[in-house]
Chain A
Amino acid sequence: MKILVGYKRVVDYNVRIQVKPDGSGVVTDGVKLSANPFDDIALEEALRLREKGVAEEVIVVGIGPADLTSHLRNGLAMGANRAIHVLTSEAVQPLTAARIFLKLIEKEQPGLVILGKQAIDDDANQTGQMLAALWDRPQATFAGKVEIADGKATVTREVDAGLEVIEAELPAVITTDLRLNEPRFIKLPDIMKAKSKPIDSIEFSSLGVDTHDHLKTTHYAAPAKRSKGVMVKDAAELVAALKQKGLL
C-alpha cells in the first residue's frame, strides 16, 4: 500500500505574526518557515505504518512555489520514499488543494491519505474533509490513534465530547491531531541520503484543476489587544476584586 502525506510549509509556530500596516497581508519576508506541525505528525504516522509493514511506500506532497524543494527534502530526510511537488506561485485554498490531491490519488492509487487536521497559517481545517468528499471515501478527522488491519482503519478521534472510535474502509483520508505521535528528529546522515531521493515536479496548470469559487481576502487586521491588567498582592485581594466585579 502507498500512503500519500500532505506536507505543507508554513510560518514556524514560534514566529510572532505581524500584520502589515496597510492591511495587505502578514509579514512573511525573512520569517522562519517550517513544516506544518500536523503534517510532521502525518508523516511520522505514515512512516510508522511502513515500519510495521502495513505500507510499502510513503509519498510526501507539497503544493507551492519553486523553493519548496528544500522543505520536501526534509520530508525525505525524515524517511519518505519520494516527494511530489505541485508547482504554483499562488497560495492555494483548501478546495483547490483537495482537488489537486484528488488528481494525485487518481495517478498514485494510495490506500491511505494522511493530512494534518489544519494548516497553522490559514487554520482552515478543511482540506482532508473536502478531499474525502470529492473522492467519495471515508474520512477520519482529528485522529489520536490509528490502527490498520483487514483493509480498514480503526481511528480514535479527539472530539469535543471525548474520544470517538470509528472504523473506515480503505482507501480513506485521515487527518492528524496533536497527540497521535511524536515526530522523529531528522538525523544528519538522513539528510545526505535524502539528496538522492526523487522529487516529481508537476506544474499546477497541467493538472486541469478547477480553481473556481474562491474566497477573496480583502483585508488583514491585527486582533484586538487585551491590555495588561493589575497585579494583586495576595489571595484575599484577588477574591475581593473578583467579588467586586460580581464574578464570584
Chain B
Amino acid sequence: MSKILVIAEHLGGKLNPSTARAVSAAAAVKPEAIDVLVLADAPDAIAAEAAKIDGVSRVLTVTRAENAHPLAAVLAPQIAKAATGYSHVFAPSTTFGKDVAPRVAALLGVAQVSDVMSVEAAHTFKRPIYAGNAIITVEADANHTVVATIRTASWPAAASGANSAPIEALTIDAALPTHTRFIELKQGSSDRPDLQSASKVVSGGRGVGSKENFDIIYKFADKIGAAVGASRAAVDAGYVPNEMQVGQTGKIIAPELYMAIGISGAIQHLTGIKDAGTIVAINKDGEAPIFEIADFGLVGDLFKLIPELEQALG
C-alpha cells in the first residue's frame, strides 16, 4: 500500500493553496495515508490549516529557525530523512516545489516525475513535455520512493474544513548547510486575487503597449474581480513584474475565465492556459493564433473595446 508525504508550501505564515492541490493528486493514488510535512520556523498556524484539508491523515511539523525561508539546500536533507517509510513524496509544481523536489530526489537517489497531470496507477503518471505539445505516460520504479511535482492546474484543491487531522512534531536529525543564505523577498503587494488560484484572470500582452497603459487592464480586472496576468513579451518589456507571467516558463493556471488581451497566442503562452474553463481573446488582428483556441473571440482595438466592455457590464 502507498503512503504519501506531501510537502506543504507556505509563505508569511499561511499555507499556499497549491498544497491542497497536491493532496488531491495524492488522494488519486488511493493511498493508506497522506501526511503533510510543514517545515517552518513557526509552523503552528500553517499546520492547523493543513490539518483541515480533506484526506490528510496527519500533519508533521519540523520547527527550526533555519526553515524560516524556503531554501532548497536546507529543506531537502530534512525532507529526504522524513521520507523514510513513504512510497511517494509529492510537492506542488510551483517555483517552491520545482526548486526543492529534485534536490530531495537526488538525495534519495531516485528519478523525479515532474508536473504530474494524472495518476494512472500508483507508479504510473501522465505528464506534459515540449511545452504541453505531447503528453507522456511514465512508469516509475515500484521498488523506490516516487518523488513527483504536481501540476497544480490539473488538480482541484482538496476541500477544506471537515477534517481535523492530528498534528505531530517531528525531530529530524540532519546537519543543515550554511552555504546558502536568504537575503530578501521583493514581493509585489496587491489586493487583487492570487493569479494561481483565481477563478477569473485578465492578461495583457505586448499589445497593451506600455506600463502606463497596463492600468486599463488592472482597472478592468478589478471591475470583474479578476487576477491580472501577462505574456512574456509584456514582462520582458517591463510593463509588469515577472510573477505575472503566464505560460510554459511562467505560471500554469486554470481559471474558469481567462481573458487574453493584446496577446498573439504563442504556443509557450497557450501552455499556461490550456486548462482554463472559458478563454476569451481580444486582439486587433483577426488572424492571431489565439483565436484558434478561444471560446469567444473579439476583433478590435483593446483601447476601444475595454471601455465598451466596462460600459456593457453596467
Contact = CB atoms under 8 A, between A and B. Distances in A.
A235 B282 CA distance: 10
B8 to A, nearest CB: 15
Interface string B260-297: 00000001100000100111100000000001111111
Contacts of B184: 164-165
B313 interface: yes
Contact of B129 (A122, A162, A166): A122
Given A93-B111, A217-B138, A167 B181 contact: yes
B102 A123 contact: no
B5 to A, nearest CB: 17
A172 B179 CA distance: 9
A166 B110 contact: no
B83 interface: no
A162 B186 contact: yes
B183 interface: yes
B242 A123 contact: no
A168 B296 CA distance: 48
A122 B128 CA distance: 8
Contacts of A220: 134-137
B308 A234 contact: yes
A178 B269 CA distance: 14
A219 B139 CA distance: 10
Interface stretch (A1-9, A105-113, A208-216): A208-216
B139 A230 contact: no
Interface string A118-144: 101111111111111110111111101
A248 B313 contact: yes
Interface residues of A, number: 83
B293 A228 contact: yes
A124 B105 CA distance: 13
A141 B180 contact: no
A232 interface: yes
Interface residues of B, number: 88
Contacts of B183: 154, 165-167
Interface in A153-206: 154, 157-169, 172, 177-179
Contacts of A212: 109
Contacts of B305: 235
B130 A160 contact: no
Contacts of A131: 106
B271 to A, nearest CB: 9
A162 B102 contact: no
Interface stretch (B26-34, B41-49, B92-100, B211-219): B92-100
Interface string A81-113: 000000000000111001000000000000000
A123 B72 contact: no
Contacts of A140: 180
A124 B248 CA distance: 12
Given A165-B186, A168-B180, A247-B200, A178 B102 contact: no
A140 B95 CA distance: 12
B188 interface: yes
Given A17-B134, A139-B72, A166-B183, 9 more contacts: A11-B130, A95-B110, A121-B130, A125-B114, A127-B102, A168-B180, A222-B134, A230-B297, A239-B312
8 contacts: A95-B106, A117-B249, A126-B105, A166-B182, A215-B140, A218-B124, A235-B298, A247-B277
Interface of B: 11, 71-73, 76, 94-96, 98-107, 109-115, 124, 128-141, 144, 177, 179-188, 196, 200, 224, 232, 235-236, 241-243, 248-249, 251, 256-257, 267-268, 274, 277-280, 291-299, 305, 308-309, 311-313
